[in-house]
Each structure stands twice: as C-alpha cells, then as structure tokens.
Amino acid sequence: MSEVQVSAIRLGLIWRRLDGIVDQVAETFLRAAFSVVVRDNYDMAFSIFDAERRQLTQSKRSIPSFLGTLPRTLEAVLEKFPRSKLSPGDVIITNNAWIGTGHLNDISMVHPIFRGSDLVAFAASTAHTVDIGGAPSPSAKDCFEEGLCIPICKIVVAGEDNPTVMDFINENLRQPAETMGDIRAQFAAYRDCNTKLMSLMDEEGLDSLTPVADEIIARSEQSMRDAISALPDGTYSDGFDIDGVDVPLRIECAVTIEGDHLIVDFEGTSGQVPWPINSVLNYTQAYARYAIKCLVDPDAPNNAGSLAPVSVTAPQSSLLNATPPAPVWGRHLSGHYVPPAIFGALAPIMGDRIVAESGSPLWNVYFSGQYDDDRGNFVKMFFMNGGHGARGHGDGPGCLSFPSNVSNQPIEAFEHQVPMLVREKSFIPDSGGAGKYRGGNAQKLVFEARSKNPMTMTIRHERITYPPRGLLGGKPGDAGVDMINDECIAAKSRTTLVAGDKIVFQTPGGGGLFDPAERDTTLIKNDLESGLTTPAATKENYNYD
Amino acid sequence: MTETKQENWRVGVDIGGTFTDVVLWCEGAAHLFQVKLLTTPDDPSRAVLDGVSQALEQARITAKQLGTFVHGTTLVANALIERKGVTTGLITTEGFRDVLEIGREWRYDLFNLNIEMPTPLVPRQRRLEIEERIDASGAVDTALNLDQLPKLAQELHSKGVQSLAISLLHSYLNPAHEQAVGAEIKKLMPDVAVSLSSDVSPEMGEYERTSTTVANAYVHPIFRDYVDRLAAALQQLGYTNELLLVLSDGRSIAADVAVKYPIRLVQSGPAAGAEAARLFGNLAGQNDILCFDMGGTTAKACLIHDGEPERTVNFEVARETRFAEGSGLPLLIPAIDMIEIGAGGGSIARVDQRGLLQVGPDSSSADPGPACYGRGGDQPTVTDCDLLLGYLDENSFLGGKMKLDREATIQAIKTRLAEPLGISPEEAAWGVHETVTANMAQAATIHAIERGLDATRFAMLPIGGAGPVHACSMAKKIGITRMVCPAGAGVASAIGMLAAAISFELGRAAPCELALLDFDHAASLLNGMADEASALIISAGAEKNEVTQYFSVMMRYLGQGYEIEVPVTLEMIENKDRERVLEHFSEAYRDRYGRSEDMPAELLSWRLAVTGPRSTLGDTLGQQKHETKPTPVPRNHRPVWFDNGYVETPVYKRKDFAVGSHIDGPAIIEETESTLVLPIGFKLDVDTAHNLILETTA
C-alpha cells in the first residue's frame, strides 16, 4: 500500500470517528434532556465545526434544517465574539430568527473547543423549546408577539454559568424548568464533546483539525460537483399553490445547472404575508441545500464542502426570504415546500431517483393551559407526520418525517404531560396517492380533552386545500383534515377546549410515482390483504378486483 | 470422583445455529473437557444430551455429579433474523393496531431517500383491537370488553395464530386488562402461547414495548418446547439441579423464568462469548479487545473497552439496512452491546441478478448444512470455500470426527458460482472469502467508530468455530495488528458460561419523588427482593454465605426522560438517609454528565443484582505451569490459497505449541474445534497463559 493510500484510509477513519463522537454527544444531550420535544421527538441537531468555522459533521438524529442554519448562526456569533473574545468553557446562546432557524422557538448555542490555548473546533447545537414566552399565535402580526428574543450573548463565561442571562430567560417562560433543563443538558453534551474530541486528537497526534478538514471538505465538494456535472445543463422549473392563511400563495422555483454548479432561485414566489408562515432566507437555504444533497449526492459525507457548489436565492421580502419584523413562528409552513419545489423542478431529469411529495409541512399541535392539580402551567406539542412520497423503487413508507426528521412521541408519554386521552392513532386506508409505487399512508389521530380547566389548542396545518402531488404519472395523496366534534375547523387556528371535546386530525398522504397501470399485482394484493387500501379504491385506481 | 466434590463440576453448553458446544470443568482444574457437535435443529436438545454425555464420559463422571448446568443458545436470535418464528398475532387497545408499523416516524438515514423501514413481525391483518382503555394514572377509563374476545379468538384461530402478544396502553402501570385478556385467551385458545407486555417489558413507550412483546411471542412456543424437552432429558440423564440460561447481558436465570421471556435470551450465547473474551483478554494483559465471534450462522463483534464489555439500552435485532442503527426491531432488554457484522460459515454464497457475488444472510444451518457436510446441501457456503482454499481439511474437521465431502464442495462452487462468473472454482472461493471478511471488517470498524472508538487500537480476539479461520484476513482489512487466540476458541461461549459468576437481577418499579419517598416501604420492598433473589441463587447451587448483593435505584431529575443507575445500600434505606441517596445520585449524575443540577430528583425503580461466588476459571488458567517448548514441527503440509494462488503450507497442531514457540506465516494451526489460518505477513508467539499472540510483520 502506498503512502498516499494509507493516509487516505487514516483520514477516512478519523472522519468517521468524528461522526461517531457527534452521535454519542447528541445521545448525551438526549438522555439528559428535560423536554419531550427533544428526547422523544428529536427536535434538535448537534454539529461540529473546525476552527475555520467550517461544518465538519452532524449527529444522525438531527433536524436537517438546523444543520443547514447552524453555519450562519456560528458566523453571526463570531462576528460579535471574535476569537480574541472567546475563552475555554464559554457557551454563546441566541434564538434570533434571522440568524437562527427562522423562529424564536429554536435556541442555538455555540461552544468553542480549545486544545491548550489553541481554538481547534466549535460544538454547536440547536434545540426546539415549546415555550419561549410571548404570545405566539396563528394571527401574530409581527415577530415581537412571538416570544422572547435572546440576543447573541454568553450564557456560560469561561466555565461559569452567567446568572444574568439565565435569569433573564427563566423569568420570561411559562415552564422554565423544561427549557432551562434542556439548556443545561447541552452544557453536559459540550463537555462530553470536549473530552471525546481531545482523546481523538491525542490518539491521532493531531494539533489541529484543519488539515484533515481541508482534505475531506475538498473531497466532499468534488463529489458534489461531479454529481452535479453528471446532470444535463439547463434551467428546470416548477411552481404550485399552497394553502396559505386567507388566500392561496404561490411557490415558484427554478433550478439552474451550469457545469458543476447549481443555482436554486425562488423568483416569482409570493411576497411575505402578515401571518406567521414566512420563512427567513437562512431556513430556505438550509432546506434547498438539503434537498439537493439528498437528490444529487446522498452518499458522500455532508459538510461545508457539500454546500459550496449550491447557491440559493429568493426575492427580498418574499414568503421564502422575509424581512423583520415579519411574523415567522410557523416558518416551516412555507419552508417545508422548498424540497418538493426542487424535486418537482428536477423530476424530468432525475428518472427513478426522484421522490413524490410527502404529507408535509410537518403537522403539529400545541396544547396549553393549567393542570387541574398543583403542577402549574403547561405548554406541550404533539407531532404527527403524513405519508412519505413514493420512491423510484418502492412505495412511500407510511407516516415518515420528510423533509424534517421529527419523531413522534409515545402516546403514553404524552398523556402523562397533557390532560388528554388519545383515542386512536392509525393508518388511513387509501390515503397514499396511487401509482406504480404508491404514496405512504397518512395517519388519523383522535384526541379527547379531559381537563377541568379550559385548555387552548393551536394548530398550523397545510395541505388541506392542496394535497401532496404525485409525480411522473402518480396520483396525489389525500389532503389533511382538522375537526372538533365532527366539524371541520380552520387549519391555522386557536380553539379553547372543554372536557369531552373530540379532536380529529388526518395528516396528508404521500403522493404516488409513475402510472398506476404499471403497478405490480403482488403489491396490489398485499395492500388489499393488509387493508391499507380498500377494494373500492383499488378497483378505481388499478382496475383490480 | 467422590461425592464431596460433586458441587465443583460445572458444564457450559452453547447451541449455535450449526454447532453445539459443550465444556465441562471441575473447579480448580486447568483442564477443560470440550465437545463440539452438529446442532440438531429438529430437536436441539438431542445434540445437547449427546454432547454432555460425551463430555461426562471423557471426565468419567455422571450427570448426578454435576453441580451447575449453564446454557446459552442462538435459537431465539436466529428465529428472529431468519424470520422463522411462529405465526404470531397481536391484541392491542382499540385504535392502536398500527403503532407497531408506524414506529417512531423518524428517518435513520438523513440523506438517503430510499430507506426501508423494518417490516413488523406481525402483519396488519393479524393485529386486532379490543375495547378497553387505561389512562396515564393507571385508572380504567374504558372497561375491558371481554365479550369481544371470542370473536377475536376466532379470527386469530382462522389466521393460524400460534402465539399471541397482548400489549395494551399504560399496562406498565396497570396490567389488569392485559392479565384478564391473557387469562381469557388461555381458556379460548389453550394451545396458543401468550406474552403480556406488562410481563415482558413493563416500561413506558407503547411502540418499543409492543415491539419487544411481539418479538417475545414470535419465538415463545419454539423456545418453550425446546427447554421442556431439554429439562426432561437432563432429568433422565440424572441432573437434578436448576437448569440455568444465559441472558443477553451475560447474567443467568433459572429455566422456568427464562421460558416466559425468551426475548431476553436473544443474545444468550454471544453474551457468554463476550465474557470469555474478557477472561482471555485479561489473561493476555489486553484490556481493549475486539471480540470477533463467527459461528456457523452469524458473525458478531463486541468491544471490550477497559476490560468491560460495552453495554446498550438501545438494542435492536434484524436490521433492515445492515449496520444502520434505527433500522431494526427495537427490544427493551438489558444487553451487552454487540452487533451482527455478517455471515457465518454456513452462510450461502450466490451470484445475484446484477452478476455480483453475495454472501448470506440466509444460512444452510446444520441441516442440510454446507455442501461439504455431505448431507444433501447443494448450495456453496463460506465453509465450502474455506475447504477448497485449504483453510479446512476434509480429514481433520472436528478432529477428524466429521469427514468433509470435497467433491460436493467443488460441484457446488463450480455450478453455482464459478460458471456463472466465468472464473475458476478457486477464484470464486477466494472471492467469497474476501467478500465475507471485507464486509465484516467494514461493519466492525463502523461499530467501533459509532461509539467514538478506533477499532485499529483494539486487539482482536477471534472465537467461534469459524472465527480463527477468518480473523487474520479481517484484521488486516480493519488495520488491526495484534490478535489474541485462546485455546478453546471454537467453544469460547461455553467457556464464558463457566467463567462468569451465576448472577440474577431483579427489578421493582416504584416511581416516586425522592422528597416523598416512604423509606419504611422501600426497606421492606428491598428486603423482599433480597429474600427472593437469595432463594433463586441458592436454588442454582450457591451457598448463602457466598452470595453478594448489590442494590441500586434508577433515578433522574424530575422531568427528565432517562434515568441513571445509582448505587445504594440496604442500610441507607433502613436508616432513612435521604441526603445520602441524593448525594449518591448527584455523584452518579456527575460521572455521566459532568455536572449535577439543583433540581428535585425522582426514583423510578429499585434493582438488585445478586451474584454467587466468582468463578475461579480465570485464576486456574492463569496459573498453568509454563512448560517451554521449542518451535513445533509441522505435522504435514498442504496447499493453501493466499491472494492469488496455492502455497504449500505447514500444518501444526495447536497442542504442540507452548511458551517460547514462534512461527511465521503462512501456517495452519488446527485444534479440534477450530482452525487458525496464519497468512503470510503474520507471526505467532505464545504467551504465558497459552494464548497464541499474532502480530503483523509488515
């Protein structure tokens, strides 16, 4: 084996150990976390950057958008706290929507890692907090209503908690124990990251991660460039309507491939709206790059190199590039349309690598109020995914998160936290769009309110009017449904619940792919046997009985 | 042997998919009586009895003199991986039959849009619902409607269900409905095995609990019948003490408990193998060991870091995507962290539609077995390729007890691999060998790095019948430079059963805030546990004064979702020392997380581990006298394939080596239960514990 090969193998090993470390560190965070949204829904991300603030790797249990927004967050943190102002043991916090993930409910933190006196890396993480104070609502008119904005500041200074910052956050929250507990759990994870990174560097005899990072980032970038080059040059576009709040809105997307570079542009997309469904550019860019990575070069490592050959633009003050003080609480209601817009645009040239639309934007619901016993206030969320879009070589899985990666939480855990009973969580037959490969089934959730105190329920759901589309001949999935006591309610609304109220949510089904006439009869029969499709719909979609 | 020495004889028996291993040992003696024979899949107890009888004969004792019988088996794991369990059904709370298929809704690979989610062991049409509901406080919200059950039973019956999982919401708090359904089902369907989630895995989280319970049900009847047959046969043989079974965490448990929860034995034999690796690593002065266990059906890897096997709480079986965490069926059981890294000796090689060589995961098992066993198998396996390459010898396999059929091997490889690929049978065999070892090397490397560890810094310890054959080739691909090859590698799991102390763990859920803990109640609970555990371990052959107890409590800060184990003493609880409990918690928390919090703490469950006297096997093996022998003389030579051709290679007997022996590869070193292949580029020395120490010379 030549010298060069040995070092390439060594590099690969170091790199994958870094991947392993970041997963373990994320596990430390998850296990010490105080909120269900982190430990059960995995609404978080953990990432390691080198001293040149280039993203190196991320935990497997990560929300894709957070991975994409963290580089900008780190950049903003370093603008305020350049190296000269950083000490070992510092932790810097912010939840500013425009430099973070697009809404105040995600708190991001950055921890510089020193080896001796040398800055060698940054650990950075983002975690969702269900409550960030304020009065976020589906009718918020600006971002100031949406909660506490934590400016970039040091929450830990040289290893010592900063009580001013801690108290400031603490006093603004309805359920501070949960949010502050999660913040402290991340401190534990940073410490773990420090230890593990140091032993890696000791064992490998590394003083700096930069030479290793140079090599791997260059390789990842080349891999992405090669993958883009393999696609035919040209501009491919797609556009579609989305539910919006009062009137439908438009997403327009053009993807231009020029040699080894790819440009995603959202010119033509609706302007920003006075409803909290606007996306910030950082979030839009994160999902655009993520979609390209999944579609074009999924197997290479994901890091700063993979992002370099993709540029993303959206018109100023548009739905996908809102400017302050636009309300942004539900920014995923527009941002989650970014991957399907890109997939739609590239469908004609991707063949069987394409995926039909999934039952997203992600569905969730907030329940808040006061416990009947002495436990005080609560603000809790419940997440539910729709069906995944059909893939080029098989059906879309039922109820699988995309483009986000939010897990559900156990019903049993939920019922310990919220005075409700879940009566049903089941697949909805026929909800996946027909096709050679059908879309994944959606789910039906039935809740029953049990609290003596009135409880507030807030929903922000999409795909009620416009269901997930099929692609290349596949049929659309089912649209979603929201009901209270058997009557439909607005998909972006806040309702007061009383004991006995019955709430039904049906998430959207995944879109189908290719002509249903090409579907294999074994698959048709299996679906009939399991009841995932009904005889009537099977007859209609596939002319089979 | 005199009657007074009766308690000193211990036997360990490990059943793999292909071979059954028996090791008999009299405490204090350095000699182990070993038997390896083919597993008898139609009735695995047959091979056990046969093997035990042979070992007893070798030692010239009777079964009545056996003090302890410890047993491990891969029966459970193989049934799950190969999906060869019984037709299983599920009864769950009305509205929730899809929980088992919906899972947790997250993607285990962020960038791959084509991932497959695990297929449930029970398909949708056999998942039935019953009207009932218990709420999060454990109170009944909706009464159980047992009137629905006859119809459900009828439906299950018509669908051929042989085993039934019952998993109802919040049953970990209140098992009454599950118990009532279970009791009624036993009346309606007396032949159907029943697994209740509140028994199998009384933990919060309906998906994981149901998954564990369904997996238990899937293997339950197979395992129960097997243990019944074995216990009866042992009794006939004259063994009268408790039959002990090894759990997935290396502890053992009495057979009557084990049969109810076969899922806890999913990793039974391999866990004992890890115990053996720890023992031998310790003797060789190696604390960081990559234990590579390759048997007839599967190959597994386990990391022993700082002398302790890594443990896991996120255990999975039957992963959809090999090596991808999150793609398997989750099991809530305590287990040694071990992953399947590939195929075993019996795994079948084939040419796929794309014209590429594929090996496994399906196995020829013991019957018919590889083509070379001459029992009608016509599919080429890894073992067949090893024979053709000269790694194995048709006349010395299992010490010559089992003659291999070379013609059948050549025929199978030629027609199924060489001809479709357009290459020679030897090249095809080499391709299989390289594919298998490369796949395993990659998987083991990833397993280590997923834990932030570098596999190349570990010493490999190959065990299992096929481990030493493939070890060097795999080590080279990982980048491992040092290997420890113990005597008896081929029966290491059975040795591990003798190396571990007999040990049980009991748990009692008792959720409560520390500030509100009723110490009197807790003390009486712990005393009750101590009595129960002592009775168990004494029935398993330990003396009362030899039993050590280790109490702990699972704790967390109020609001957290995961708990940590906090050591406590009975005295602390009897003295109502709340402060000490909190101190111990803070200390354990700081150990794990590097900090503690000023927040209220809560207790989830009490645990008690009782352990019998530690095994003296390690001491005995470590104190063997060091007879120094010069480098041995090869018994013969045979052509062995390395890289691109046959090399005339010396063949040694393992027993000819002693401290001071040194040889350089290529060489073949045979012992009855396994064969070590030493390729060119490796050297071999013998340490004072009689381990062969292999190192790369390049």
- A6 has a pLDDT exceeding 50: no
Nearest to A187 among B452, B557, B595 (CB): B595
Q: What share of chain A is helix, strand, coil (3-state, %, to 5)?
A: 35, 25, 40
If you write DSSP's letter for every residue of A54-123 in order, what string do you get? -EEEE-SS--HHHHHHHHHHHHHHHHHS-GGG--TT-EEEE--TTTTTSSTTEEEEEEEEEETTEEEEEE
> How many Å apart are CA A512 and CA A468, to the nearest integer?
9
A27 and A154, same domain (yes or no): yes
A168 in a domain, yes or no?
yes
| Higher-scoring residue by pLDDT: A174, B505 | A174
CB within 8 Å of B404: residues ≥ 6 apart: B372, B373, B374, B387, B392, B393, B394, B395, B397
**Mean pLDDT, residues A121-150 taken together:** 95
Domain boundary residue among A353, A388, A414?
A353
B124/A394 touch (CB, cutoff 8 Å), yes or no:
no
| Higher-scoring residue by pLDDT: A332, B363 | A332
Instruction: Give the length of chain B.
Output: 698
- The yes/no answer on whether domain B84-215 falls in CATH 1.10.3090 is no
- A147 has a pLDDT exceeding 80: yes
Nearest to B169 among A17, A411, A532 (CB): A411
CATH topology for the B285-485+639-698 domain: Nucleotidyltransferase; domain 5 (3.30.420)
Please, what is the average pLDDT of chain A? 94
Give the residue carrying structure tokens 């003389």.
B633
Side-chain half-sphere CA neighbours of B691 within 13 A = 29
Where does residue B145 rank: exposed (0-12), middle (13-18), buried (19+ CB within 10 A)? exposed
Residue A4's pLDDT is: 37
Q: How far is B599 from chain A (nearest CA, A)?
A: 9
Side-chain half-sphere CA neighbours of B596 within 13 A = 16
Q: Contacts of residue A30 in chain B, CB cutoff 8 Å?
A: 562
pLDDT beneath 70, residues of chain B: 1-7, 313-314, 322-323, 353-354, 452, 540-541, 626, 698
CATH, range B503-614: 3.30.1490
Q: How far is A545 from chain B (nearest CA, A)?
A: 19
- A112 has a pLDDT exceeding 90: yes
Torsion of CA B460, B466, B468, B472, to 10 degrees: -70
Nearest to A13 among B99, B450, B454 (CB): B454
Q: Give the count of beta carbons closer than 10 Å to the beta carbon of residue A260.
A: 16
Q: Hey, which of A26-30, A198-202, B150-154 has the most confident mean pLDDT?
A: B150-154
Contact B463, B293 (CB under 8 A): yes
Domain boundary residue among A353, A385, A416?
A353
Torsion of CA B212, B215, B221, B224, to 10 degrees: -50
Residue B447's pLDDT is: 80
A79 and A227, same domain (yes or no): no
- A271 has a pLDDT exceeding 90: yes
A228 and A268, same domain (yes or no): yes
A457 and A431, same domain (yes or no): yes
* Strand order across the beta sheet in which B667-671 lies: B636-642, B645-653, B667-671, B674-678
The DSSP code for A139 is: T
Q: Is residue B321 left, alpha or beta, with left meaning phi > 0 and alpha meaning psi from -120 to 50?
A: beta
Specify the DSSP element, H or E, that contains B222.
helix B206-237
- A3 has a pLDDT exceeding 50: no
> How many Å apart are CA B542 and CA B535, to the nearest integer?
10
A413 in a domain, yes or no?
yes
Domains B3-80+225-265 and B285-485+639-698 share a fold: yes
Nearest to B135 among A200, A421, A529 (CB): A421
The CATH number, out of the four listed (3.30.420.40, 2.10.77.10, 3.40.50.970, 3.30.43.10), of the domain defined by the range B3-80+225-265: 3.30.420.40
The domains of chain B are located at 3-80+225-265, 84-215, 285-485+639-698, 503-614
A58 and A132, same domain (yes or no): yes
Q: How far is A224 from chain B (nearest CA, A)?
A: 13
B102/A294 touch (CB, cutoff 8 Å), yes or no:
no
Contact A333, A277 (CB under 8 A): yes
Two tokens, residue A86? 């950083």
Whether A442 and chain B come into contact, CB under 8 Å, resolves to: no
| pLDDT level of residue A9 (50, 70, 90 thresholds) | low
Report the relative pairing of strands A481-484 and B19-26 from DSSP bridges.
unpaired
ipTM of predicted assembly, 2 dp: 0.94
A530/B125 touch (CB, cutoff 8 Å), yes or no:
yes
> How many Å apart are CA B611 and CA B624, to the nearest integer?
27
Q: Give the count of beta carbons closer than 10 Å to the beta carbon of residue B522.
A: 23
A186 and A319, same domain (yes or no): no
A447 in a domain, yes or no?
yes
Nearest to B105 among A294, A408, A529 (CB): A408
Residue of B nearest to A298 (CA): B111
Whether A15 and chain B come into contact, CB under 8 Å, resolves to: no
A348 and A401, same domain (yes or no): no
How many domains does chain A contain in total? 3
Nearest to A34 among B97, B125, B560 (CB): B560
Q: Give the count of beta carbons closer than 10 Å to the beta carbon of residue B559.
A: 18
CB within 8 Å of A500: residues ≥ 6 apart: A448, A449
Domain boundary residue among A208, A240, A266?
A208
Q: How far is B563 from chain A (nearest CA, A)?
A: 8
Q: Which residues of A442-481 are buried (b: 16+ CB within 10 A; e: fewer)?
A: bbbbbbbbbbeeebebbbbbbbbebbbbbbbebbbbbbbb
Residue B477's pLDDT is: 86
| pTM (two decimals) | 0.88
Report the relative pairing of strands A310-313 and B357-363 from DSSP bridges.
unpaired
A195 and A225, same domain (yes or no): no
**Mean pLDDT, residues A201-210 taken together:** 88
Compute the count of residue pairs across chains A and B with CB atoms less than 8 Å apart: 187
Q: How far is B204 from chain A (nearest CA, A)?
A: 6
pLDDT tens per residue across span B274-283: 999 999 999 9
A258 and A369, same domain (yes or no): no
Residue range of the domain that includes A489: 355-545
B107/A405 touch (CB, cutoff 8 Å), yes or no:
yes
Q: Which amino acid is at A267?
A: E
Q: Which of A23, A413, A376, A31 is nearest to B556 (CA)?
A: A31
A347 and A388, same domain (yes or no): no
A177/B559 touch (CB, cutoff 8 Å), yes or no:
yes
Residue A8's pLDDT is: 59
Q: How far is B39 from chain A (nearest CA, A)?
A: 36
> How many Å apart are CA B403 and CA B373, to the nearest integer?
8
A213 in a domain, yes or no?
no
Please tell me the least confidently modeled range out of A29-33, A72-76, B161-165, B504-508. B504-508
Share of chain A above pLDDT 70, in %: 98
Residue A1's pLDDT is: 30
